[in-house]
Structures are given as C-alpha cells and as structure tokens.
Amino acid sequence: MQPNIILINCDDLGWGDLGCTGHPLHQTPNLDRLAAEGSRFTHFYQGSSICSPSRGAMLTGCHPCRIGFDAFEGRGVLFPGQGVGLDPAEETFADVLRRAGYATHIVGKWHCGDQPEFLPTNHGFDSYYGLPYSNDMGIQRTGSPYPPLPLLRDEEVVEAQPDQRSLVFRYTEECTKIIRADKDRPFLLYLAHMHVHLPHYVAEKFAAESTNGRYGAAVAAIDWSTGMILAELRRQGIDDNTLVIFTSDNGSRCDFGPSNGLLHGTKNSPWEGGLRVPFLARWPGRIPAGRVSDAILTGMDLLPTFATLAGVTPQRERPIDGVDASALVLGDSPAAPLHEAIPFYQGPHLDAVRRDRWKLHVARHGRDGVPGPVLELYDLLDDPGEDRNVAQDHPDVVTQLQRDAEDFRQKFGDAALNRAGAERRPIGRVDHPDTLTHFDPTQPYYQAMYDLNEAG
C-alpha cells in the first residue's frame, strides 16, 4: 500500500536546535516524540548551505550545480522578480508522486523562482499556499529594495505584506485541511516552514514561554505545528500509513546560541554546521522506533526514495545524484555506503569532499573563513567539530579525496579553477520577468512596513 508522505522542512534550523539533538534551552516535546517513535539520522546533508540551492536539490534529486542552481545571476539565492528559476523540464518528487496517483501539495516557502513558469503548480504540485521566497524579502524599511511580500494561493497573490506572526497557524490549518480532504487517497504534503529564518515574527504565547528569545519561540512554533499535524493523522485514522519526515534546508546562522550543536560553522559555509541538519523519519510499524543512525544520507536521496515507496520509477532521461535510501530508512543495514563520496559546494566553488568518516577541505568560500585554497583533513567520527587537521597523518586518505574532488570538478565544475563541468544543465529562464506585487500607496496593507529590519 502506498504511504502518505509528509515532508516538514524548516528554514535555517540547525543540527542541534532540538531537544532530542541536545539543545540546552529549546523544549521540543512533539519533535522529540517523533524521533522516539521513529528514527533519527545524525549524518544527513542538504545539497547546499543556503536555501534556493538546497531546496532545488532536494526537490529534484540533483546536486545544485547539475541543474544550474549554484548561482542566480551572480547571487547566492533567488530574489523577487528574477527571470531565472527551476527549469520546468526538471522532474521533482511531486512530479514523480503525481504520476503514481498521489495528490500533491506544498504549504510554505518555495524559493525556486517566482515567475509563473517556476511556481510549484508548474512543478508537479496540485496546490500551493505560501510565500514564494524568504520572509525577509518584503518591505521592512523606507526605500526597501523589495516589493510587498506576497502570500500565494496556487499562482494568485491572495495577500500582500501578511502578518507573519499568523503564518505558522495559517500554514498548519492548511495542512490539517489537506489531511482531512485526502485521507482516502495517497497524498504528498510538503510543509516548508518560514521559521527560523530572520526576521523572527512569533506569537506572544511562544515568545512568553521561550528561554531563548524570539529564536527559541520560533523553534517552539515549529514543534507545536508538528504536534498538530501528528494529532490530525491520528484523528483521521491514517497515522499508521503515513511517513513523516522532518528536516531543515541548511544549518543555522547561530546568532542565538549553539544551534548547530557540536558542529563547526554556520549557514553559508562548507563546514558541517552549514550543511548537516536534523533528519527524523517516522512511519509506525515500518521504521524502527528509537533508532539513531550515523549512515550518510542527503536531501537528494528523497526523490528516488519516495519513488520506491510509491511504486514508481523516476524518469531516466535526465541523470540525478540521489540514491534510493528506502531500505536504510526502513531499517535495513546496507552492505555498502549509499554514497562513496559527497561534495560540499559554496555556490559554484568546490570547497570540500566527504568519503566515509573523512572530510577534506580544498578551498574556503562563504560566510566562515578567508576565501582561497586550503588542504585540511578531518575525521568526522572522532572530531565532528572539525577542530584537528590530520592531513599530514593520512596522506593516502588525502590522495583519495583529492581524486574524488577532481571527479566532481569534471562533472559539476569549480569556479575557483575556471572549470566548467561536463554534466551541468541550464537553469530555467524567462523573458520580461516581473515581481508578483508592486507597492500601491492606496492599498490598506495590514502591515505597510515590517518593523523588524533583520535579514537572513
């Protein structure tokens, strides 16, 4: 029987932000229960340490460089009104599951292009309700470079400059409506939270109870929402046939404490704290309860994994980088690692490669560190914080990982070395792009200007 699939993806939530991953201040009882009733994978990586590349990779099963999602006309992520986005020719996991007979829905942040050709309803989703990009890309000050923040229903702007404090409640209500409406057929629900991206607009209840300011309140809002969704599954009698996955698009900025736990680095960096994020998976009776696994998984593995669970085959015309991890997620121990090696790119720059327990940094770009070449080897099992460079002690490992790095350069390129890459596909493009909204001084916006001038 095909399982329902709910994917909860947070924005900038760190590897160590949950109670079950050791945060000293955050109380996350619903997510801790999700982990206890399912499995927690401690070495799960997204395809990028920033949001547009990460989300494009997770949706398509492809490394960002393969689909042209490593740079956006010179920017690290997509901005309002750009004429580039996720090429409609790319297959998403929503496309795959719709072919398998699923109802497919997305609620929340998209950030893969805001032109009509790039929106979720042109990428396999039956419905969409949410923000097309980051919540800091609205009007926050006089002279703002952005138009009013649009809230979309499918392809229509239904509100501009919405009250952000209300969105977690509106998103959660939308999710419960979808669960009730589709309880008698297989469905995909992709909930992409606004939290914990800056600015942190949170309800008074969560702010009053937080011991870590507005950031901790945003984490609590995510936990509350998860609890509501799990309760609705039980209420509708479909809990036992629903796979629930919880993760984040990239690591935390760590502006509000040790959000990435013992991992070094932050969002927008090639360190572990930039790309390794929480990953919880629960399917009662099918996924082992209470298991903690250090197997290496990636966001790109979700598409082929969902395909297997739904009994359908992804298209073969365009190569992908993800692998079917269904057996591992369901509790089988693979005879060999799913991935021989994985790359860590910062935009179009190859900065590091991991193979088994070893990670070799070959360059430094992004938020942490002075840009330029390096040669640093870390044993991630003995030294998850990447504190001790052991390159001189393991020259054979360094040589192997340098070969892996060269393989990735041949496939995806490396801008620092002026390498183009043989397996890259172009990003989607449209002529005459425009923003979804334009400021209208006669419009009675709920909030003509947001009062938190914070950018994520």
Tokens of 63: 């490394």
Locate tokens 């801790």: which residue? 32
CA-CA distance, 202 to 165, in Å (whole number)?
Answer: 5
User: Which candidate in 26, 43, 63, 111 is catalytic?
Assistant: 111
Which residue(s) pair with 378 in the sheet? 359
To the query of whether residue 51 is one of the catalytic residues in this protein, the response is yes
DSSP class per residue in 26-93: ---HHHHHHHHHSEEEEEEE-S-SSHHHHHHHHHHTS-TTTTT-S-BTTBSS--TT-SEE--TTSPPH
Buried b or exposed e, range 63-91, using 16+ CB within 10 angstroms:
bbbbbbbbbbeeebbbbbbbbbbbbbebb
CA-CA distance, 386 to 392, in Å (whole number)?
Answer: 15
Cis peptide before 145 (omega within 30 of 0): no
Tokens of 333: 């121990």
User: Which candidate in 10, 51, 65, 254 is catalytic?
Assistant: 51
To the query of whether residue 111 is one of the catalytic residues in this protein, the response is yes
**Terminal CA-to-CA distance of the chain, rounded, Å?**
41
Handedness of CA 361, 366, 368, 370 (dihedral sign): positive
Answer yes or no: are the C-beta atoms of 253 and 456 closer than 8 Å: yes
Q: Point out the residues that are catalytic.
A: 51, 111
